[in-house]
Amino acid sequence: MDQDVAALIAPGIRPDWLEPPDLAVAREAQIALAARVVREDAHPPVRLLAGVDISSQRFDPEGRIWASVVVLDWPGLAVVARASAMARATIPYIPGYLGFREVPALLAAWARLAVKPDLVLVDGHGIAHPRGFGIATHLGVVLDLPTIGVAKSPLVGRPEAPLGEEPGAAQPLLWKGRRLGTVLRTKRRSNPLYLSTGHRVSEAGAVRWVRDCLRGYRLPEPTRQAHLAANEVRRAALAGSLPAPPAGPAG
DNA sequence: GCGACAG
DNA sequence: ATCTTGTCGC
Protein backbone atom coordinates (compact mmCIF):
# COMPACT_ATOMS: atom_id res chain seq x y z
CA MET A 1 0.00 0.00 0.00
CA ASP A 2 1.52 3.30 -1.08
CA GLN A 3 1.15 6.73 0.49
CA ASP A 4 -1.56 7.78 -1.94
CA VAL A 5 -3.76 5.02 -0.62
CA ALA A 6 -2.64 5.27 3.01
CA ALA A 7 -3.76 8.88 3.11
CA LEU A 8 -7.31 7.84 2.25
CA ILE A 9 -7.77 5.24 4.97
CA ALA A 10 -10.08 6.20 7.81
CA PRO A 11 -8.44 6.93 11.17
CA GLY A 12 -7.96 3.98 13.51
CA ILE A 13 -7.73 1.30 10.84
CA ARG A 14 -4.66 -0.82 11.56
CA PRO A 15 -2.53 -2.01 8.60
CA ASP A 16 -3.00 -5.65 9.58
CA TRP A 17 -6.75 -5.11 9.39
CA LEU A 18 -6.31 -4.52 5.65
CA GLU A 19 -3.86 -7.33 4.97
CA PRO A 20 -4.19 -9.82 7.81
CA PRO A 21 -1.57 -12.62 8.11
CA ASP A 22 -4.21 -15.35 8.29
CA LEU A 23 -7.94 -15.98 8.27
CA ALA A 24 -8.19 -15.95 12.05
CA VAL A 25 -6.92 -12.36 12.16
CA ALA A 26 -9.06 -11.50 9.14
CA ARG A 27 -12.08 -12.77 11.01
CA GLU A 28 -11.23 -10.67 14.06
CA ALA A 29 -10.77 -7.64 11.83
CA GLN A 30 -14.23 -8.13 10.37
CA ILE A 31 -15.79 -8.43 13.79
CA ALA A 32 -13.99 -5.35 15.09
CA LEU A 33 -14.70 -3.20 12.05
CA ALA A 34 -18.32 -4.31 11.73
CA ALA A 35 -18.94 -2.41 14.97
CA ARG A 36 -18.26 0.83 13.09
CA VAL A 37 -20.92 0.34 10.45
CA VAL A 38 -23.50 3.12 10.24
CA ARG A 39 -26.82 1.76 9.06
CA GLU A 40 -28.55 5.11 8.70
CA ASP A 41 -28.50 7.56 5.84
CA ALA A 42 -25.55 9.74 6.73
CA HIS A 43 -24.19 11.06 3.48
CA PRO A 44 -24.11 14.36 1.61
CA PRO A 45 -26.76 15.19 -0.98
CA VAL A 46 -26.00 12.94 -3.93
CA ARG A 47 -24.66 14.76 -6.97
CA LEU A 48 -22.27 12.03 -8.07
CA LEU A 49 -22.66 8.26 -7.78
CA ALA A 50 -20.13 5.55 -8.47
CA GLY A 51 -19.97 1.85 -9.14
CA VAL A 52 -16.99 -0.40 -8.41
CA ASP A 53 -16.10 -3.86 -9.63
CA ILE A 54 -13.12 -6.10 -10.32
CA SER A 55 -12.15 -8.39 -13.16
CA SER A 56 -9.60 -11.18 -13.26
CA GLN A 57 -8.18 -13.82 -15.55
CA ARG A 58 -9.30 -17.42 -15.20
CA PHE A 59 -5.88 -19.03 -14.85
CA ASP A 60 -3.47 -16.23 -14.12
CA PRO A 61 -0.38 -17.56 -12.30
CA GLU A 62 0.43 -14.00 -11.31
CA GLY A 63 -2.90 -13.58 -9.54
CA ARG A 64 -3.55 -10.19 -11.06
CA ILE A 65 -6.88 -8.46 -10.60
CA TRP A 66 -8.11 -5.25 -12.18
CA ALA A 67 -10.36 -2.85 -10.33
CA SER A 68 -12.43 -0.03 -11.77
CA VAL A 69 -14.39 2.86 -10.33
CA VAL A 70 -16.87 4.63 -12.57
CA VAL A 71 -18.42 7.95 -11.52
CA LEU A 72 -21.81 8.98 -12.88
CA ASP A 73 -23.80 12.15 -12.42
CA TRP A 74 -27.23 12.22 -10.82
CA PRO A 75 -29.93 12.04 -12.03
CA GLY A 76 -28.63 11.75 -15.57
CA LEU A 77 -26.39 8.75 -14.84
CA ALA A 78 -23.93 9.81 -17.51
CA VAL A 79 -20.36 8.65 -16.93
CA VAL A 80 -18.22 11.60 -15.85
CA ALA A 81 -15.04 9.91 -14.60
CA ARG A 82 -13.27 6.60 -14.47
CA ALA A 83 -10.21 5.14 -12.78
CA SER A 84 -8.66 1.69 -12.76
CA ALA A 85 -5.75 -0.13 -11.18
CA MET A 86 -4.12 -3.54 -11.24
CA ALA A 87 -3.08 -5.38 -8.09
CA ARG A 88 -1.81 -8.80 -7.03
CA ALA A 89 -4.34 -10.79 -5.08
CA THR A 90 -3.00 -11.64 -1.63
CA ILE A 91 -5.47 -14.42 -0.98
CA PRO A 92 -7.66 -16.63 -3.17
CA TYR A 93 -11.40 -16.22 -3.24
CA ILE A 94 -12.83 -17.49 0.03
CA PRO A 95 -16.55 -17.00 0.69
CA GLY A 96 -16.90 -14.58 3.58
CA TYR A 97 -13.48 -12.98 3.02
CA LEU A 98 -13.89 -11.35 -0.37
CA GLY A 99 -12.99 -7.91 0.92
CA PHE A 100 -9.44 -8.91 1.81
CA ARG A 101 -8.91 -10.07 -1.75
CA GLU A 102 -10.48 -7.20 -3.65
CA VAL A 103 -10.47 -4.07 -1.50
CA PRO A 104 -6.73 -3.35 -1.92
CA ALA A 105 -7.18 -3.16 -5.69
CA LEU A 106 -10.27 -1.01 -5.28
CA LEU A 107 -8.35 1.39 -3.03
CA ALA A 108 -5.63 1.75 -5.64
CA ALA A 109 -8.20 2.63 -8.30
CA TRP A 110 -10.00 4.95 -5.87
CA ALA A 111 -6.78 6.87 -5.21
CA ARG A 112 -6.54 7.67 -8.91
CA LEU A 113 -10.00 9.18 -9.09
CA ALA A 114 -9.95 12.87 -9.88
CA VAL A 115 -13.48 13.46 -8.62
CA LYS A 116 -14.92 11.61 -5.61
CA PRO A 117 -18.59 10.51 -5.60
CA ASP A 118 -21.06 10.99 -2.75
CA LEU A 119 -22.29 7.39 -2.79
CA VAL A 120 -20.90 4.11 -4.10
CA LEU A 121 -22.58 0.92 -5.29
CA VAL A 122 -20.39 -2.13 -4.78
CA ASP A 123 -20.58 -5.48 -6.57
CA GLY A 124 -21.08 -7.81 -3.58
CA HIS A 125 -22.82 -7.87 -0.21
CA GLY A 126 -22.87 -5.21 2.46
CA ILE A 127 -24.06 -6.30 5.91
CA ALA A 128 -25.72 -9.41 4.44
CA HIS A 129 -22.71 -11.40 5.59
CA PRO A 130 -21.99 -13.91 8.39
CA ARG A 131 -20.26 -11.22 10.44
CA GLY A 132 -22.02 -8.23 8.93
CA PHE A 133 -18.94 -7.25 6.96
CA GLY A 134 -19.31 -7.95 3.24
CA ILE A 135 -17.11 -6.22 0.69
CA ALA A 136 -19.41 -3.21 0.32
CA THR A 137 -19.27 -2.63 4.07
CA HIS A 138 -15.54 -3.35 4.09
CA LEU A 139 -14.80 -0.69 1.48
CA GLY A 140 -17.22 1.71 3.12
CA VAL A 141 -15.71 1.47 6.58
CA VAL A 142 -12.11 1.58 5.38
CA LEU A 143 -12.75 4.80 3.46
CA ASP A 144 -15.59 5.97 5.73
CA LEU A 145 -17.57 6.20 2.54
CA PRO A 146 -21.33 5.78 1.92
CA THR A 147 -21.76 2.41 0.18
CA ILE A 148 -24.48 -0.02 -0.88
CA GLY A 149 -24.04 -3.77 -1.39
CA VAL A 150 -25.39 -5.03 -4.72
CA ALA A 151 -24.87 -8.80 -4.97
CA LYS A 152 -26.01 -11.09 -7.75
CA SER A 153 -26.42 -14.18 -5.58
CA PRO A 154 -27.01 -14.92 -1.91
CA LEU A 155 -24.29 -15.55 0.67
CA VAL A 156 -26.42 -15.96 3.76
CA GLY A 157 -30.17 -15.80 4.29
CA ARG A 158 -33.21 -16.23 2.09
CA PRO A 159 -36.20 -14.16 1.04
CA GLU A 160 -38.97 -14.05 3.64
CA ALA A 161 -41.49 -15.26 1.06
CA PRO A 162 -41.35 -16.35 -2.58
CA LEU A 163 -40.35 -13.43 -4.78
CA GLY A 164 -42.87 -12.10 -7.30
CA GLU A 165 -42.11 -12.38 -11.01
CA GLU A 166 -42.73 -8.73 -11.84
CA PRO A 167 -39.88 -6.22 -11.97
CA GLY A 168 -39.91 -4.28 -8.71
CA ALA A 169 -41.00 -7.28 -6.64
CA ALA A 170 -39.10 -7.33 -3.34
CA GLN A 171 -38.78 -9.41 -0.19
CA PRO A 172 -36.86 -8.90 3.03
CA LEU A 173 -33.64 -10.96 3.14
CA LEU A 174 -33.81 -12.91 6.41
CA TRP A 175 -31.07 -14.78 8.26
CA LYS A 176 -31.27 -16.25 11.75
CA GLY A 177 -34.40 -14.27 12.39
CA ARG A 178 -32.83 -10.97 11.38
CA ARG A 179 -33.43 -8.80 8.36
CA LEU A 180 -30.12 -8.19 6.61
CA GLY A 181 -31.26 -6.71 3.35
CA THR A 182 -33.67 -6.91 0.45
CA VAL A 183 -34.10 -9.34 -2.43
CA LEU A 184 -35.15 -7.32 -5.46
CA ARG A 185 -36.31 -8.42 -8.89
CA THR A 186 -34.86 -5.73 -11.14
CA LYS A 187 -35.84 -7.20 -14.48
CA ARG A 188 -38.37 -9.63 -15.88
CA ARG A 189 -37.13 -13.23 -16.11
CA SER A 190 -33.84 -12.35 -14.44
CA ASN A 191 -32.54 -13.62 -11.14
CA PRO A 192 -32.98 -11.08 -8.36
CA LEU A 193 -30.34 -8.87 -6.75
CA TYR A 194 -29.43 -9.01 -3.06
CA LEU A 195 -29.19 -5.52 -1.63
CA SER A 196 -27.93 -4.44 1.74
CA THR A 197 -26.51 -1.50 3.62
CA GLY A 198 -22.82 -1.03 3.07
CA HIS A 199 -22.03 1.97 5.23
CA ARG A 200 -23.81 5.26 5.99
CA VAL A 201 -26.88 4.19 4.00
CA SER A 202 -30.15 2.82 5.40
CA GLU A 203 -31.83 -0.35 4.18
CA ALA A 204 -34.59 1.72 2.59
CA GLY A 205 -32.03 4.06 1.10
CA ALA A 206 -30.13 1.16 -0.44
CA VAL A 207 -33.24 -0.12 -2.17
CA ARG A 208 -34.27 3.35 -3.24
CA TRP A 209 -30.92 4.14 -4.85
CA VAL A 210 -30.64 0.85 -6.67
CA ARG A 211 -34.16 1.16 -8.01
CA ASP A 212 -33.50 4.71 -9.15
CA CYS A 213 -30.35 3.62 -10.96
CA LEU A 214 -32.00 0.91 -13.06
CA ARG A 215 -32.10 1.58 -16.79
CA GLY A 216 -33.57 -1.55 -18.32
CA TYR A 217 -30.80 -3.94 -17.34
CA ARG A 218 -30.58 -6.39 -14.50
CA LEU A 219 -27.81 -4.37 -12.86
CA PRO A 220 -28.05 -0.71 -11.82
CA GLU A 221 -25.99 1.62 -14.04
CA PRO A 222 -23.10 2.34 -11.65
CA THR A 223 -22.30 -1.33 -11.09
CA ARG A 224 -22.99 -2.23 -14.69
CA GLN A 225 -20.62 0.42 -15.96
CA ALA A 226 -17.95 -0.60 -13.47
CA HIS A 227 -18.22 -4.20 -14.63
CA LEU A 228 -17.73 -3.14 -18.24
CA ALA A 229 -14.82 -0.88 -17.34
CA ALA A 230 -12.98 -3.53 -15.31
CA ASN A 231 -13.30 -6.06 -18.10
CA GLU A 232 -12.11 -3.51 -20.59
CA VAL A 233 -8.91 -2.63 -18.74
CA ARG A 234 -8.12 -6.27 -18.09
CA ARG A 235 -8.47 -7.20 -21.73
CA ALA A 236 -6.44 -4.20 -22.80
CA ALA A 237 -3.66 -5.06 -20.35
CA LEU A 238 -3.62 -8.69 -21.44
CA ALA A 239 -3.60 -7.80 -25.12
CA GLY A 240 -0.70 -5.44 -24.55
CA SER A 241 1.47 -8.10 -22.90
CA LEU A 242 0.69 -11.01 -25.19
CA PRO A 243 3.40 -12.67 -27.40
CA ALA A 244 2.12 -11.76 -30.84
CA PRO A 245 -1.35 -11.11 -32.21
CA PRO A 246 -2.40 -13.53 -34.97
CA ALA A 247 -1.68 -12.11 -38.39
CA GLY A 248 -4.76 -10.98 -40.27
CA PRO A 249 -5.32 -11.44 -44.01
CA ALA A 250 -2.69 -9.42 -45.87
CA GLY A 251 -3.67 -7.28 -48.81
C1' DG B 1 -19.61 -34.34 10.89
C1' DC B 2 -22.02 -32.48 6.55
C1' DG B 3 -23.48 -29.08 3.44
C1' DA B 4 -23.46 -24.05 1.98
C1' DC B 5 -20.67 -20.72 0.22
C1' DA B 6 -20.59 -12.92 -2.64
C1' DG B 7 -16.64 -12.60 -6.46
C1' DA C 1 -14.87 -14.25 -11.22
C1' DT C 2 -13.79 -16.55 -16.02
C1' DC C 3 -13.76 -19.92 -20.13
C1' DT C 4 -17.23 -18.88 -24.94
C1' DT C 5 -21.33 -18.79 -29.88
C1' DG C 6 -25.00 -19.92 -30.85
C1' DT C 7 -29.33 -20.83 -29.45
C1' DC C 8 -33.81 -21.70 -26.97
C1' DG C 9 -37.66 -19.17 -24.82
C1' DC C 10 -40.51 -15.25 -23.56
pLDDT attached to residue A112: 97
Identify the pLDDT of residue A74: 98
Residue type, A63: G
Q: What pLDDT, in 10s, does the model give residues A42-56?
A: 999 999 999 999 999
> Strand C: which of residues 199-228 in chain A lie with Cβ below 7 A?
227
Among A51, A12, A44, residue whose Cα is nearest residue A29: A12
In this model, does residue A102 exceed pLDDT 60?
Answer: yes
Stronger pLDDT, A18 or A119, i.e. the higher one: A119
Angstrom distance (rounded) from CA A183 to CA A151:
10
Tell me the binding residues of A for Mg(2+).
53, 123
Q: Using 50, 70 and 90 to split pLDDT, how confident is the model at A251? A: very low
Q: Is pLDDT of A15 > 90? A: no
Question: A215 — phi, psi (to 5°)?
Answer: -135, 45
Give the CA A197 to C1' C3 distance in Å.
33
Judged by DSSP in three states, A126 sits in: coil
Whole-model pTM: value is: 0.95
Whether A12 sits with its Cβ under 7 A from any strand B atom: the answer reads: no
The partner residues of A156 in beta bridges, in order of sequence, read none
CA A231 to C1' C3, in angstroms, rounded, equals: 14
For the domain with range A3-239, which CATH number is right: 3.40.50.720, 3.40.640.10, 3.30.2170.10, 3.30.70.20?
Answer: 3.30.2170.10
Give the model confidence (pLDDT) of A189-248 as tens digits.
Answer: 999 999 999 999 999 999 999 999 999 999 999 999 999 999 999 999 998 876 655 555
pLDDT digits (tens, 9 = 90+) for A115-171: 999 999 999 999 999 999 999 999 999 999 999 999 999 999 999 999 999 999 999
- Mean pLDDT along residues A16-35: 95
